[in-house]
Amino acid sequence: GQQLNQSPQSMFIQEGEDVSMNCTSSSIFNTWLWYKQDPGEGPVLLIALYKAGELTSNGRLTAQFGTTRKDSFLNISASIPSDVGIYFCAGQYKGGSEKLVFGKGTKLTVNP
């Protein structure tokens, strides 16, 4: 089935630094979503993107729907300790029926 390539797999940063992660696919996607998962909890939706080129912010988080429709980026500015967790991209690809495909996640560690 369709897969998403999410990178990096893990990141170790200092508090206050900016973070960037991305997802790529070989297929065209209609929707890109970004989730955060804390240990022992379910994923929480952060940002949803529906149009190529769309740039959407949620506080210190900014995500973009790539113009090729095959990639998406998530940036976190001025990281804080509570940003720790696993970030997942997800999307619905063109011709991919009615289900979401998930990336493997980026594990973020923020050192105070």
Partner 1 sequence: ETGVTQTPRHLVMGMTNKKSLKCEQHLGHNAMYWYKQSAKKPLELMFVYSLEERVENNSVPSRFSPECPNSSHLFLHLHTLQPEDSALYLCASSHVTGLEAFFGQGTRLTVV
Alpha-carbon distance 66 to 52, whole Å? 6
Q: Which of residues 43-72 bind partner 1 (CB under 8 A)?
A: 43-45, 48
Give yes or no for a contact between 36 and 107, defined as CB atoms under 8 angstroms apart.
no
User: Using the rule CB under 8 A, is 42 a contact of partner 1?
Assistant: yes
User: Using the rule CB under 8 A, is 104 a contact of partner 1?
Assistant: yes
Quickly count: other Cβ atoms within 10 Å of residue 52's Cβ: 16
Cβ nearer to partner 1, comparing 51 with 78: 51
Alpha-carbon distance 24 to 57, whole Å? 20
Residue from 12, 14, 40, 59 that binds partner 1 (CB under 8 A)? 40
Contact residues for partner 1, defined by CB under 8 A: 3-4, 31, 33, 35, 40-45, 48, 88, 90, 92, 97-100, 102-105
